[in-house]
Structure 1
Amino acid sequence: MSLAIRSAREIVGELTDRRLSAETLLRMTLDRIAEVNPSVNAIVGMADEGDLLAEARACDQSALRGPLHGLPIAVKDLVNVKGLKSTRGSPIFADFVPETDDLIAARLRAAGAILIGKTNTPEFGLGSHTFNPVYGATRNPYDPSRTCGGSSGGAAVALATGMLALADGSDMMGSLRNPAAWGNVYGFRPSWGRVPSEPVGDTFLHQLSTLGPMARSPDDLALLLDVISGPDPRQPHARDAEKVGAVMAGDLTGKRIGWLGDWGGAYPMEAGLLDQCVHAVDVLADLGCILEEVEPPFPAEALWESWTTLRSWSVAASLDPLAAHKDSLKDTAIWEMERGQSFSALDVHAASVIRSEWFTCAARLFDRYDALVLPATQVWPFDVALDYPTTISGHALDTYHRWMEVVIPVSLIGLPCLAAPAGFSQTGLPAGIQIFGPRGSDADLLGLGAAYHEATRWPQLRPAFPQQEAVT
């Protein structure tokens, strides 16, 4: 079976049993990158090949270090990795090589992974379209003239094309859900706090963004989620949760699923996208779920007001150390910074009150439903040369990110969410759905996703170009 569609858990199993050597796997990975990456530009900032091969040989000669022993992984270029150029997609950091690993990179190393390079991201991760002035744009492997989404775009494309078996992502405003949808792969935004962020600066106030796994199946998501999860004593809100372990398709009979659609028309959708997502939701009904359409449970504009205030406040705080380099920042970063700086403390408080009200409302919904479903995007993958959409089906958009408004009900209150493939348009463009539940329901969502995956297997049925030789 092609490495491009094989399970990461299977590959790790062969590495663990020594049926597959880390050196052989690394050479195949490097060959695959050389074959595919020039067309899509997903993996950047590669480590020295000789150093990587030496590390792989050392893995083959050593005792097992952890559950990812010998598995090549490229880390999102918002994460500092010791010895690798870590640019955040910005010319300010174009030559920056960290001397230490960020927490997630350290956890990957401790699990035995070989960190081979970085996956491309938008500048500072802003905007769901992966392009930056350091490495350029990452292209959609199903149509290279179109975007792959973002900000975890490089990660999604590396998975879709078989350059990686697992990838890390991060998600504030759909940053792993959007590229998972447009890459025909899976992404998982965990319950906020399950995967701790880097313990620097403020660790109390900002609760919008989280790290999470990406893969070609829910079971592979669980494999990586268990590696990167767990509390850190330096993080006050880090959640202690049981390991998920392997997830398998179970009986979904009687599971209550609420379909939110386009939130009563509040979220404009490009033609055909909503219908494609309905087909995906119908799979859950075929598996025995009780499916109900849900009326908008909360005013969409109130969610947007809360979200844009808290997001700009958070982004402004993170970019504040770069104020002296303001002329080097992209327009959207400057917009977020100036907007966030304009808010009073009571403005932020008012936004958080709305957030609190939505959390209470959602809790009541989960008394009735085991999970809720929304589309993962509001548009199909757009022209790679376009910075961002300004209209959707005739609806004018007032910000650079309004076209991803559909993700904020999840992000605003830190809910766990599975981004799952939803099939393809008549022209071959991928779509996706968001399946989300109450905080702490991570394992349940992955189990539901495993059943959905067995019924659909979109990443395996429609792998991205080009195919490759099987692992032997």
Structure 2
Amino acid sequence: MSDSLCQRTATELAALIRAREVSAREVMQAHLDRIERLNPKVNALVSLDPEGALAGAAAADERLASGAAVGPLHGLPMAHKDTHDTAGLRTTYGSPLLADNVPARDELVVERLKAAGAVTMGKTNVPEFAAGSHTFNPVFGTTANPYALDRSAGGSSGGAAVSLACRMQPLADGSDMGGSLRNPASFNNVVGLRPAPGRVPTWPDAAAWSTLSVQGPMARTVADVALMLSVIAGPDDRSPISIDQPGSVFREPLDADLQDLRVAFSMDLGGDLVVDPQVRAVLEPAAQVLAKLGGAVEEAWPDLTGADEVFRTLRAWQFELMLGELRDAHPDRIKPSLRDNIDVGRALTGADVGRAERLHTELYHRVREFFTRYDVLALPVSQVPPFDIDLEFPTEIGGVTMPSYLDWMRSAYWISATGCPAISVPAGFTPEGLPVGLQLVGPHRSEPELLRIAHAFEQATRHAELPPPL
């Protein structure tokens, strides 16, 4: 009974708790038991607080028994990403410089999750300052992929994705600059949504006007992602780019008629991406699945000229803004790849940033026009399957050298530069049993439609139902 609760979706668990068919304490204890058994193998969850979690679950049961109104996530266990400030709970950002940091208040995404009834039980592991798509840091070590413990879990929301895959929590929050919600979802056979900038407002934020980094939901099903998005989306005056549309729009049914769906499908964006043959082999059948759902599928892709320069320039500028002072004060205590990125940002001129903004605007309009002809773009999330856990990043794909820890992630970060919402949905496995996700991209601010398409693909394929061998 205990372990079967962990197999339930977040939507199912929330309904069971509200109906008082199971208590929040029972749900929490079941997940804590599973964490005790599995987490030592994968190192996904850190700074765990079992006593505080059980006390929070007991308070949730008391509130429900009192007849008070409860939120849509009432009683659900949750560990927050270790880059999301959580009041009273150690939040390290994966950095030894913040190893003892205990925030005094919650940041906005955590604030909203708690207000909806989620019960905090710990944090999820991240790369140092969330830089890179491989989860390792000098504070807590490396997170392993539960489908193959010698492979990367992806990142930066790697701990979040692994904890979901292992059924150690039903929902997870994450963030995404260059693929950090999508890449680990792909590597761990779960669902990760990068919303449009402003859909999930962020606060506090040193670069509040930036559209590059967003926060968003992860779960094992598209329906659970929509449930969580309904809670964390919606306007807030503390974010100047927040979208003035309530999160309740994501509580609408996901079933939809896709007979008139227009799908652009591309494995390599016209040859601009180097994609591992194993990834190609897994994803090629996805075109047929989308066609059977009623879509008219064509090989097509938008012109993403300039996306690389836009992303790298604005990312470096933002890293210098956020971490430049720490880099100066502690140059030997920040990982070299991150230190180099900060230095690139420091060397940028006004002309460099201005050119990036011009290219960014041109890119937006080309992609906007592309989506007048298509409803969704389908392409790989990641150009490689989960790679060797001992590598910092893949150094080559198909014989092509990847000089830096960003080069192998273009399939994700070029999409980040467009500002379009994008979701990673489980799409199958390599012959070694390694998960591969399909990336679905929609027009600007089209998350409701994108979730319906992703849900239909998920229901037609059912790849997400295969748990890791752990």
Task: Give the TM-score band, short-chain normalised.
Answer: over 0.9
- Equivalent pairs counted in the alignment come to 461
Task: Report the alpha carbon displacement of residue 465 of structure 1 after superposing the two structures with TM.
Answer: 3.3
- Confirm whether residue 218 of structure 1 aligns to residue 222 of structure 2: yes
Specify the alignment match of 2:36 in structure 1: 34
Structure with more relative contact order (C-alpha pairs < 8 Å, separation 6 or more): 1
- Confirm whether residue 23 of structure 1 aligns to residue 29 of structure 2: no
Q: Does the Cα contact within 8 Å between 1:264 and 1:296 map onto a contact in 2? A: no
TM-score, length of structure 2 as denominator length = 0.96
Specify the alignment match of 1:74 in structure 2: 79
In 2 relative to 1, CA 293–5 (structure 1 residues): closer, same or farther, beyond 3 Å?
farther
Specify the alignment match of 1:56 in structure 2: 57
In 2 relative to 1, CA 247–159 (structure 1 residues): closer, same or farther, beyond 3 Å?
farther
| Aligned counterparts, 1:37-436, within 5 A | 37-47=39-49, 49-62=50-63, 63-204=68-209, 206-242=210-246, 243=248, 244-295=250-301, 297-299=303-305, 302-322=306-326, 323-436=328-441
Specify the alignment match of 1:470 in structure 2: none
Deviations 1:36-93 (A, max 9, x none): 101111010111x223222211111113431111110000000110111100000000
Task: Report the alpha carbon displacement of residue 295 of structure 1 after superposing the two structures with TM.
Answer: 4.9
> Take 1:159 and 1:307, find their aligned partners in 2: how far apart are those partners?
29
Task: Report the alpha carbon displacement of residue 365 of structure 1 after superposing the two structures with TM.
Answer: 0.7
Letter in 2 for 1:342: A
> Take 1:329 and 1:252, find their aligned partners in 2: how far apart are those partners?
48
Q: Does the Cα contact within 8 Å between 1:374 and 1:434 map onto a contact in 2? A: yes
Task: Report the alpha carbon displacement of residue 4 of structure 1 after superposing the two structures with TM.
Answer: 4.3
Deviations 1:189-238 (A, max 9, x none): 1111010112343322x210100000111110011001111111121111
In 2 relative to 1, CA 295–159 (structure 1 residues): closer, same or farther, beyond 3 Å?
closer
Letter in 2 for 1:259: F
Unaligned 5+ segments in structure 1 are 467-472
Query: Which deviates the most, 115-124 or 244-253?
Result: 244-253
Task: Report the alpha carbon displacement of residue 408 of structure 1 after superposing the two structures with TM.
Answer: 2.4
> Take 1:289 and 1:318, find their aligned partners in 2: how far apart are those partners?
43
Task: Report the alpha carbon displacement of residue 431 of structure 1 after superposing the two structures with TM.
Answer: 0.4
Q: Does the Cα contact within 8 Å between 1:218 and 1:247 map onto a contact in 2? A: no
SS at the partner of 1:418?
A: strand
> Take 2:302 and 2:368, find their aligned partners in 1: how far apart are those partners?
15
Deviations 1:263-312 (A, max 9, x none): 1221111122112112123211111111000156233xx22122111111
Task: Report the alpha carbon displacement of residue 454 of structure 1 after superposing the two structures with TM.
Answer: 1.0
Query: Which deviates the most, 163-172 or 395-404?
Result: 395-404
> Take 2:101 and 2:361, find their aligned partners in 1: how far apart are those partners?
39
> Take 2:376 and 2:352, find their aligned partners in 1: how far apart are those partners?
32
Q: Does the Cα contact within 8 Å between 1:4 and 1:160 map onto a contact in 2? A: no
> Take 2:205 and 2:312, find their aligned partners in 1: how far apart are those partners?
23
Task: Report the alpha carbon displacement of residue 389 of structure 1 after superposing the two structures with TM.
Answer: 1.2
Q: Does the Cα contact within 8 Å between 1:89 and 1:121 map onto a contact in 2? A: yes
Deviations 1:82-114 (A, max 9, x none): 111100000000111111111111111111111
SS at the partner of 1:156?
A: helix
SS at the partner of 2:440?
A: strand
Q: Does the Cα contact within 8 Å between 1:186 and 1:421 map onto a contact in 2? A: yes
Letter in 2 for 1:37: N
TM-score, length of structure 1 as denominator length = 0.95
Unaligned 5+ segments in structure 2 are none
Q: Does the Cα contact within 8 Å between 1:208 and 1:411 map onto a contact in 2? A: yes
Letter in 2 for 1:57: A
Letter in 2 for 1:27: Q
SS at the partner of 2:251?
A: coil
Q: Does the Cα contact within 8 Å between 2:316 and 2:345 map onto a contact in 1? A: yes
Q: Does the Cα contact within 8 Å between 2:135 and 2:159 map onto a contact in 1? A: yes
> Take 2:92 and 2:216, find their aligned partners in 1: how far apart are those partners?
20
Q: Does the Cα contact within 8 Å between 2:192 and 2:225 map onto a contact in 1? A: yes
> Take 2:286 and 2:130, find their aligned partners in 1: how far apart are those partners?
29
Q: Does the Cα contact within 8 Å between 2:56 and 2:120 map onto a contact in 1? A: no
Q: Percent identity?
A: 44
> Take 1:208 and 1:103, find their aligned partners in 2: how far apart are those partners?
18
SS at the partner of 2:70?
A: coil
Deviations 1:306-350 (A, max 9, x none): 211111111111112313122210011101100000001110010
